Amino acid sequence: MSVLERLQSVFVALAALLGLAAGIALPIGAAVGSIVLPALLLMITAVFLQMDAAQVRAARDTKKLVAVSLVINFMWTPLFAWMLGAGLLGGAPDLRIGLLLLLVTPCTDWYLVFTALARGHLGGAAALLPINLVLQLLLLPVYVLLLGGEAAMIGVGPLFEAIVLVLAAPLVVAVVLRWLTAGSARGRTLTNSASRAILPLLYLAVFAMFAWQGRVVADHGGELLLLLIPLGLFFVVTPLIARMAGSLSALPDDQRVTLTMTTVARNSPIALALAVAAFPDRPLIAVALVIGPLVELPVLALLSQLVRRPVRA
């Protein structure tokens, strides 16, 4: 893990603070607002370029891990997210939708880095990536419409269009590019370049988002602080659920580590892109999604140190 990757939570926070300051001090909101969605789409395409469909074959050796992970990520976590939002953010519907979008989207990128740091089962982690991606693409409209309730206030058509734009289109572009460059030096160059572009594109999107909505953040700072309570509960309870499930299902130690990482890490970039596309007139939803990584990344860094340490008598 490079120094830049280790400090990504610091850079996300710095990008947010710089964007916030610029957005409040300068009349640049409309100009930088047009940058957010293209930057996110490019970043998601770069993430998808890192995927290899052959990784799914690793699932054959980790069937129990995959099954337990899917139950937690796509059954327990949406229910838990709904309970946290309804119980703690009932008076802030936009924050509740932002929390829901964040928590129901399992990570498809940086959890691999933290799994490696924690000495987890990388084959199982890689196998889960495309499965998590496809399932969240299919289930996101269901979660938003069923669990979002009246707060979602969006039809099936606009939500479907946003998912096609944010998830399906970048995925198709990435698959076509990988197919066209398969086995060639151009393919390796493309993949390496895409890998290096992911974090800068994320920082650009975060900066532009906060500069675009600087005054919204300033006007709703107290509300955004409310997110820290449900986020904190999620990042405390979920590792405990994962460890208990891993123990009850008798997973090997390295697969328990992988289970913890894949159930804790969230896909904030994809959730952010979806919020920008599906709720363009409700910027507080998207702004709320940027708060998530500021809590999540330090938690993952800490967990990667805690779960890999053997328990001694």
SS (H, E, C) 121-147: CHHHHHHHHHHHHHHHHHHHHHHHHHH
Q: How many CA atoms lie within 13 A of 112 on its CB side?
A: 16
Residue 262 is assigned to a structural domain of this protein: yes
- At residue 309, what are phi and psi to the nearest 5 degrees? -80, 125
Q: 266, 292 in Cβ contact below 8 A?
A: yes
- Structurally, the chain folds into a number of domains equal to 1
More confident residue, 240 or 90: 240
Instruction: With respect to residue 311, please indicate whether it lies within any of the assigned structural domains.
Output: no
79 found inside a domain: yes
Secondary structure class of 61 (helix, strand, coil) = helix
**What pLDDT score does 6 carry?**
64
The pTM for the full model equals 0.71
Distance CA(224)–CA(289), nearest Å, equals: 10
Residue 188 lies in a domain: yes
Q: What is the mean pLDDT of the chain?
A: 79
Structure tokens at 129: 């990536």
More confident residue, 222 or 177: 177
In this prediction, residue 163 has a pLDDT band, given cuts at 50, 70 and 90, of low
What integer is the mean pLDDT of 132-160? 66
The mean-pLDDT minimum among 2-11, 39-48, 122-131 falls in 2-11
Q: How far is CA 35 from CA 28, 164, 173, in A?
A: 11, 19, 20
Neighbours of 132 (CB within 10 A): 23
Is 236 inside a domain boundary?
yes
Asked whether residue 143 is assigned to any structural domain, the reply reads: yes
Residue range of the domain that includes 106:
3-306
Q: What is the mean pLDDT of residues 197-203?
A: 80
Identify the residue with better confidence: 130 or 157: 130
Cβ atoms of 116 and 308 closer than 8 Å: no
Phi first, then psi: give them for residue 307, nearest 5 degrees.
-75, -15
Residue 284 lies in a domain: yes
Q: How many CB atoms sit inside 10 A of residue 52's CB?
A: 13
For residue 106, the 8-state DSSP code is B
Whether residue 291 has pLDDT greater than 90? no
Please answer whether residues 292 and 56 qualify as being in contact, where contact means their C-beta atoms are separated by less than 8 angstroms. no
* Residue 54 scores a pLDDT above 60: no
Residue 130 near residue 56, CB atoms below 8 Å: yes
Provide the total of helices (H) and of strands (E) in the chain, helices listed first.
17, 0
Percentage, residues of the chain above pLDDT 90: 17
Residue 313 domain-assigned (yes or no): no
Percentage of the residues of the chain whose pLDDT score is greater than 70: 82
Helix (H, G, I), strand (E, B) or coil at 22: helix
Whole-number Å distance between alpha carbons of 300 and 293:
10
What pLDDT, on a 0 to 100 scale, did the predictor assign at position 13? Answer: 76
User: How high is the pLDDT of residue 149?
Assistant: 54
Under the banding of pLDDT at 50, 70 and 90, the label for residue 166 is low
252 CB burial (10 A radius; 0-12, 13-18, 19+)? middle
Domain CATH code at residue 12: 1.20.1530.20
- DSSP letters for 227-281: THHHHHHHHHHHHHHHHHHHHHTT--HHHHHHHHHHHH-B-HHHHHHHHHHH-TT
